Structure 1
C-alpha cells in the first residue's frame, strides 16, 4: 500500500467499470483522484464518496468526451480542484455493434471522437502542463485486444482502439525526453456497462464465451487494476511505449 502516495491522477470514465476499479485501486494506494462521468451523476457521487473513504482527495465532473473542448476543460478543472496531475488514465470509451456496410457517418464520428480524439488531445494537454512544470508523469491508455483481433460489426470501434494503441507508441517517443511515459493496457472480454446486455441479461451466453478463454472465464474490471498501478508507479519507471495485455490468454489463441 502507498505506492501512489502524494500523486494525483485524472481518470476519464471513472464512474463505472474499468475506470471505477482503477480509481478505487489508486485511492487505496494513496493517490488523489479526479474523474469524469458522462451523465450518471448519482454514480459519480457514489464513487467520489467511496474514494474519499480511503483518506484521499477525490472529485469529478460530468463531461462528454465527444465535445471538442472536453480535453481542455478537463485538465483546467483538475488543476483547479487537485493541482497538477501527474497520472492520466484515458479510459472513457463507447461502442456500438453495427455492420460495416450499415455504419453511418454520425455513429462512426462519435466512436472516433470519444475513443481516439478525446484521449489524443487530453494527453496533449496533460503533457503540456507537465512539461511547463518540468515534472515527469505517466499516461495509461485503455485500449483493447480488439485493436489487433478482428470481430464482426465493430470496424469503427476496432479502428479507434488500434489508433489509440498507436497513439501510445507515437506519444511515448515524443514525450520521453520530458520524463513522461505512455503505455497501454489492452483488456480482453471484460464485464462492463458496454456489454451488460450479455453478462447481466444472458449469463449463460456470457459463461459460454468465457469457456473459449484459456484461463476459463471472462474478466472483471478489478482484473485491470494491478496493471494500472504498476504503470502509474515507479515500479515501471523504465517502461514506455508498452502494451500490457490482460485477457486471460484470449489473444494468444
Structure 2
C-alpha cells in the first residue's frame, strides 16, 4: 500500500469496468484521481465517493471523447482539480459489432476517434505539460488482444486498438528524453459494461467462452489493476514502449 502516494492521475472511462478497477487501485495506493465518464453520472458519483474513502482527492467530469474540444476540457479539468498530473490512463473506448462489409464510415470514424484520435492527442497534451514543467510521467494505454487477433464483426475496433498499441511505441520513443514513459496493457476477455449482456444475462455462455483460457476463467476489472499500478509506479521506471498482456494466458494459445 502507498506505492503511488503523492501522485496524481487521469483515468478516462473511470466510472465503470476496467477504468473503475484501475482508479480504485490507484486510490488505494495513495494516488489522487481525476476520471471521466461518458454520461452515467450516478456511477461517476459512486466511484468518486468510493475513491475518497481511501483518503485521496478524487473528482470527475462527464466527457464525450468524440467531442472536438474533449482534450483541452480534460486537461483543464484535471489541472483545476489536482494540479499537474503525472499519470494518464487512456482507457475510454467504444466498439461496434458491424461485420466488415457492413461497417459504415460514420461507425468507423466514431470508433477511431474515441479509441485512437482522442488518446493520441490526450497523450500529446499531457506530455507537453510535463515537458514544460520539467517533470517525468507515465502514460498507460489500455489496448486489447484484439489488436493482434482477428475476430468476427470487430474490424474497426481491432484497427483502432492496433493503432493504440503502436501509439505507445512511437510516443515512448519520442518522449523518453523527457522522462515520460508510455506503455500498453492488453486485456483478454474481461467483464466490462460493454459486454454486460454476455456475463450478466447469460453467465453460462460467458463461462463457456472462458473455459479455454489457460487460467480457466474470463477476467475481471480488478485483474488489470495490478499491472496499471506497476506501470504508474517507480517500480517500472526502466520500462517504456512495453505491452503487458493480462489475459489469463490467452496470448500463449
Matched, 1:52 2:52: yes
* Structure 2 residue aligned with 1:140: 140
Give a deviation string over 1:217-248, Cα, whole Å, max 9, x none.
00000000000000000000000000000000
Distance 1:244 1:251 in 2: 10
How does 1:68-83 map onto structure 2 within 5 Å? 68-83=68-83
Q: SS of 2:139's equivalent? A: strand
CA contact 1:116–1:163 (8 Å) conserved in 2 = yes
Distance 1:216 1:2 in 2: 31
Query: In 1, distance between residues paired with 2:58 and 2:11?
Result: 11
What is the 5 A alignment of 1:88-167?
88-167=88-167
Q: Which structure 1 segments of 5+ residues have no match?
A: none
How far apart are 1:69 and its partner, in Å?
1.4
Aligned to 2:196: 196
Distance 2:196 2:42 in 1: 19
- Residue 187 of structure 1 corresponds to 187
Query: Please, what TM-score do these two structures have when normalized by structure 1?
Result: 0.99
**1:15 equivalent in alignment to 2:15:** yes
For 1:221 and 1:40, how far apart are their aligned partners in 2?
18
Backbone CA RMSD of aligned residues: 0.5
Aligned to 2:238: 238
Deviation at 1:99, TM superposition (A): 0.3
SS in 1 for 2:126: helix
Aligned to 1:66: 66
C-alpha distance after superposition, 1:111-164 (max 9, x if no partner):
111000010000000000000000000000000000001101000000000000
**1:173 correspondence with 2:173:** yes
User: Post-superposition shift, 1:193?
Assistant: 0.6
Task: Check the 8 A contact 1:149/1:251 in 2, yes or no.
Answer: no
Q: In structure 2, how many angstroms separate the alpha carbons of the residues matched to 1:163 and 1:230?
A: 23
The count of residues paired between Structure 1 and Structure 2 equals 253
How big is each residue's C-alpha offset from its partner over 1:36-81, in whole Å with a ceiling of 9 and x where there is no partner? 0000001000000000000000000000001111111101111011
Quote the Cα distance in structure 1 between the aligned partners of 2:174 and 2:70: 23
